[in-house]
Structure 1
Amino acid sequence: MDKELLINLINKYLSNQATADEEKFLFDYYDTLQKNELKWDEFLLGDENIAKTELYSKILQEIKARESASKRIIFLRSRWFVAASVALFLVVSSLLALYLRHNNSSLLAKNNALPVSKHTVAPGGNKALLTLANGSKITLDDAATGQLAKQSGVTITKAANGKLIYTIENAPSNSTGLAQQAYNTIETPRGGQYQVNLPDGSKVWLNAGSSLRFPTNFTGNLRSVELTGEAYFEVAKNAQKPFRVLSNSQVVEVLGTHFNISSYIDDSSVKTTLLEGSVKVLSTKSNQSKLLKPGQQSNINYSDNSIDIQTVDTEEVVAWKNGYFLFVDEDLKSIMSKLARWYNVDVEYTGNVDNLRFGGIVSRSRDLAQALKIIEQTGNVKTKIEGRRVTIMP
């Protein structure tokens, strides 16, 4: 498709002038682009994460400028993110090249030149501890790539990109003809994240301060794992063997789909967000259950165990898995809780911040001082970093 025509279509979409057919075309085109990874020219465009951060920052600034009525934020957000994503995948090269030609120092160059504060904390990284069925432990961030262990007919391998891969070599058996189930547990510390490929081909991304307990081979009629913290799942389809995730106060059951679960015990609720397919969510204490549609999020409150369903922006929910923090009209304590887990810091407040809400986007590869700038730029609060303690001053 001609880039100029596409830009015109995006502009029509953003200004509410696109027809129903044009909107459908744009959504379909976006889905197609999502499935095809385009190569990024780092020599011409610089760091991809920084470019993505700056482009989305511009979109968020535009949302704030247009958002005179706060009730419209959900509608505007989804509209702008679809358009931003299309622009990012297709026309970003042209836009950045044009910017470079007309500016002596580009926005990207300015960001790369940002001074690093003396009082800051480095971002988290691929860090995890793997506990095998026999009790032995492997620190994955220190382990060399290649085969790590072999157990119950399964080979455990660490890939060059840090991914943990389980490969079934042969079906385990014993003299009685029954398979003995062996379980592994992978844990990420605060300041860590990790990706694991399960024996059935399902993929799991673990966020900081999380753990996943799973069998080395899914036997029987059910694939069952246990989660604490947060994880994004891409479950391999198997209509004969449902996939079940047990987490704090809930059970999630699927046949094969993409979803995110956030079940940190220090949050007020457990949230499950569906990106595609279908999901059944069960509250283990109230025994209520709900079916989710793509774009919906269930929220089980720890205090009364009720299940609330709402439509959310999935880009915002899975931003952590894609390498950045994305906050849209989010309360300050929720933001700082996420930053505290990723940077492994403690947070204290010198005043009442209950009514403060912020929006912004920053790459998770940035140091803590740069991440805190999205909050300080509002002028409503100041921050101070001392060792691994962050003080928020209204």
Structure 2
Amino acid sequence: MNKHKLPYLLKCYFEGGLTPDEEKLLLELLTNNPSEDILTQFDEYYKQYGKAVPFLDHQQNQVWENILRQQKDNGLAYRWRAILKYASVAIVLLIGTISLFRSFYKTENSFGYTTLEHFSFDNRAPLLSLREPGQNFRLLNEYELQRYGIFVHASGTTFTNAKEDSMLANNLELKINTKKGQLHRVFLPDGSEVLLSGNSEINVPLVFDKHVRSLSLIGNAYFDVMGNKEWPFHVKTPHNVTRVLGTNFNVNATVGKEEEITLLEGAVKIYNKENSILLKPGEQAFGNNALQKRKADLKKVTAWQQGYLYFDNLTIRELMNSINEWYNLEFVSYDYESDDRFSGSFKRTNSLEELLKNLQEVSSIRFKVKEGGVYVLKK
């Protein structure tokens, strides 16, 4: 690969004058484990000429997969800084700025990237909004997404990578809201990863505080936190705070339910005004006031991450509430109160009709789907 041609390719790229062969050459340079020299050159040209120029759509998947593969192979937070310097430009170019953000929301600023990955029936991106000190949250527009270092890929991934010394990003808070039936993967500036379940919300600063990495959650999310003993990670929910140094854990703070924090790996401390609890892997803390601890049902806790609805000895009302979290029903009408109990798992990508048909076959219930809702009837 001719690295000496890179300055010419970058200049033509930002001026929109690349030939098809030159596009191919530049993409290979940017996506095949680029050296620090290449990243440095790209950064210099980005600062000088930076603007988005669309590449061909058919190249999108190849570049995106290569970028994610490098992140996974290296597994280090600093690689995000390097990769994201050119990932935002390369992918925005590949998809086309207008087509990429048309189904999202619009904005105005630039320093890093945040990425989300979704696996749902709802192909729309989550709501992204921003809050400045003393202000209310407002929806971001396309220009702001780039300006503030937020990158949302069409596949459902969000990168946030604002520069720590950026005056523009300091004290700004990003809110990500998912709808029912959506799963989204978010990569944070420190290299930590969040898988956000449907009908959930996280608020995260564009630049973490130097002493603590803190975000808030309403709903359900799985966290894979980059370890740093000198820089603790806090997840604030309506009733509790989970403090970690580097670990894998799940936090379920769904509105109307008792909060549950489940540890898969590492160590966490959960506390509130009443008390605090230390967890070991395989344990779960629960409670909105006085916290308690128990052995976790890991299959149940992690089923949603694998794309499954999991139910264990549920009543029909409990089961329909669980189903509604994924399929976004307008209503559920109970014309029959069954004593049946339901246990099992079901692939969330399958249709609601298929799920209800399976439930009918093993129970005394029949279902009628009408006007966006479900009627629960006796056979």
Q: Same fold by TM-score, threshold 0.5 exceeded?
A: yes
The equivalent residue for 1:212 is 202
2:167 aligned with 1:165, yes or no?
Answer: no
The equivalent residue for 1:270 is 259
CA RMSD of aligned residues (A): 2.5
Question: Helix, strand or coil for the counterpart of 1:321?
Answer: helix
- Matched to 2:269, the amino acid is K
2:298 aligned with 1:314, yes or no?
Answer: yes
TM-superposition CA deviations, 1:93-138 (whole Å, max 9, x none):
xxxxxxxxxxxxxxxxxxxxxxxxxxxxx94456410002355424
2:346 aligned with 1:348, yes or no?
Answer: no
The within-5 A match list for 1:3-152 is 123-125=121-123, 127-133=125-131, 135-138=137-140, 148-151=145-148
The equivalent residue for 1:243 is 233
The equivalent residue for 2:364 is 380
Question: Helix, strand or coil for the counterpart of 2:161?
Answer: strand
Residues 272 and 332 (structure 1), Cα distance of their counterparts in 2 relative to 1, 3 Å cut: farther
- Matched to 1:216, the amino acid is L
CA distance in 1, matches of 2:353, 2:290: 38
CA distance in 2, matches of 1:369, 1:339: 12
CA distance in 1, matches of 2:237, 2:319: 22
8 Å CA contact retained: 1:228, 1:263: yes
CA distance in 2, matches of 1:386, 1:190: 19
CA distance in 2, matches of 1:148, 1:244: 25
8 Å CA contact retained: 1:124, 1:342: no
8 Å CA contact retained: 1:126, 1:194: no
Which residues of structure 1 form unaligned runs of 5+?
1-121
CA distance in 2, matches of 1:291, 1:125: 39
CA distance in 2, matches of 1:241, 1:325: 35
The more displaced of 376-385 and 287-296 is: 376-385
The equivalent residue for 1:298 is 285
Residues 348 and 308 (structure 1), Cα distance of their counterparts in 2 relative to 1, 3 Å cut: farther
The equivalent residue for 2:224 is 234
Residues 371 and 125 (structure 1), Cα distance of their counterparts in 2 relative to 1, 3 Å cut: farther
CA distance in 2, matches of 1:224, 1:147: 23
CA distance in 2, matches of 1:279, 1:189: 28
CA distance in 2, matches of 1:282, 1:249: 9
CA distance in 2, matches of 1:131, 1:172: 19
The equivalent residue for 2:308 is 324
- Matched to 1:272, the amino acid is I
- Matched to 1:184, the amino acid is L
Deviation at 1:277, TM superposition (A): 0.9
Question: Helix, strand or coil for the counterpart of 1:148?
Answer: helix
8 Å CA contact retained: 1:147, 1:158: no
Bigger strand fraction: 1
Residues 187 and 319 (structure 1), Cα distance of their counterparts in 2 relative to 1, 3 Å cut: same
Residues 375 and 307 (structure 1), Cα distance of their counterparts in 2 relative to 1, 3 Å cut: farther
Residues 248 and 224 (structure 1), Cα distance of their counterparts in 2 relative to 1, 3 Å cut: same
State percent identity of aligned pairs.
31
CA distance in 2, matches of 1:243, 1:356: 43
8 Å CA contact retained: 2:145, 2:151: yes
TM-score, with structure 1 as normaliser: 0.59
RCO comparison, higher one (Cα < 8 Å, 6+): 1
TM-superposition CA deviations, 1:245-287 (whole Å, max 9, x none):
11121111111111111111222x1111111111111134xx2
CA distance in 1, matches of 2:244, 2:266: 8
Task: Give the aligned length.
Answer: 254
Deviation at 1:375, TM superposition (A): 2.4
The equivalent residue for 1:47 is none
2:190 aligned with 1:190, yes or no?
Answer: no
The equivalent residue for 2:321 is 337
Deviation at 1:237, TM superposition (A): 1.0
Residues 202 and 331 (structure 1), Cα distance of their counterparts in 2 relative to 1, 3 Å cut: farther
CA distance in 1, matches of 2:322, 2:198: 9
CA distance in 2, matches of 1:294, 1:348: 40
Question: Helix, strand or coil for the counterpart of 1:168?
Answer: coil
TM-superposition CA deviations, 1:167-206 (whole Å, max 9, x none):
23452248xxxx8311000001223332211111111111
Deviation at 1:160, TM superposition (A): 4.9
- Matched to 2:335, the amino acid is T
8 Å CA contact retained: 1:281, 1:289: yes
Pick aligned residue for 1:363 from 331, 344, 347: 347
Deviation at 1:317, TM superposition (A): 1.1
Which residues of structure 2 form unaligned runs of 5+?
1-119
